Structure 1
């Protein structure tokens, strides 16, 4: 079993999939934006968009933290050609259903879209991300990032 400490979120970041000061209006709008770039750059198959939309509606990924909301959408490994973690910092919060209570909503300005295709990779990445997002200073740093280098810095812990 792999040690979760070996999974580094920063190893999966791709500059073209980091969106700072984005202006997506809805989660579906965000998914379309990620899909357009990820498909053009060869990260995902044509099934990525419909599958991530369906999975998010069936298994919501919004998390309410102490001071803010985040979301960690992901989908089936068979839609991923090259692994990635996309980081989106939106100008205004996007509504996601809560992971722990799908009847409740969370407003997320910071969204991590996981594109992973190896067995157990999603669980290990989720564990690594959870340790990051539980540190409000790191999430705040990502939210206020000026450039991609800032995002790498905060996700390299």
Structure 2
């Protein structure tokens, strides 16, 4: 597959779901915050919140990077009405259980919540996100972005 047909994170950004400077204290608050907006805007069903919480507790999504943690929570396609990638930049790190070691946690300031309803899209989006996540400069910019347009520009 050539790059121009690959899924781009920027194509799935939805302005109401770019959440900057949030003050969530834990993953439950973060999921509830994303769900409130996503549900109100018609992106998700009423099963999104219970299912993303359940999935995160069974299959944690925290990734420990060299100098920080990030998380890529997601859930079942049948809870997604309109596809999105939500970006949450929290003021303080939130502890996410680690994907590679669920007994450990990683401090996460930037979480990418995936709302995808095409089975093949999940893997492609994860690959696309890995490119962003492995770029320290991009993560630094996301953590300090002052508005939603800036986030969209960074990810374009």
Moved over 4 A (4+): 2-5
Q: Distance in 2 between matches of 1:154 and 1:136?
A: 12
Residue in 2 that maps onto 1:138: 138
In 1, the alpha carbon distance for the partners of 2:51 and 2:85 equals 17
Q: Does 1:29 align with 2:32?
A: no
- Residue 34 of structure 1, CA deviation: 0.6
Change (3 A) 1:27 1:4: farther
- Please say if residues 132 and 138 of structure 1, whose CA atoms lie closer than 8 Å, have aligned partners that are also in contact: yes
The TM-score, its normalising length taken from structure 2, stands at 0.97
Question: Offset of 1:116 from its aligned partner?
Answer: 0.2
2: CA distance between counterparts of 1:134 and 1:42? 32
- Listed as ranges, the matches of 1:1-157 within 5 Å are 2-3=1-2, 6-156=6-156
Distance 1:74 1:68 in 2: 20
| Offset from partner CA, 1:112-132 (integer Å, 9 cap, x none) | 000000121110000000011
Alignment partners' CA distance in 2, 1:119 and 1:86: 18
TM-score (norm 1): 0.96
How many residues in Structure 1 have an aligned counterpart in Structure 2? 155
Let me know the Cα RMSD of the aligned residues.
1.0
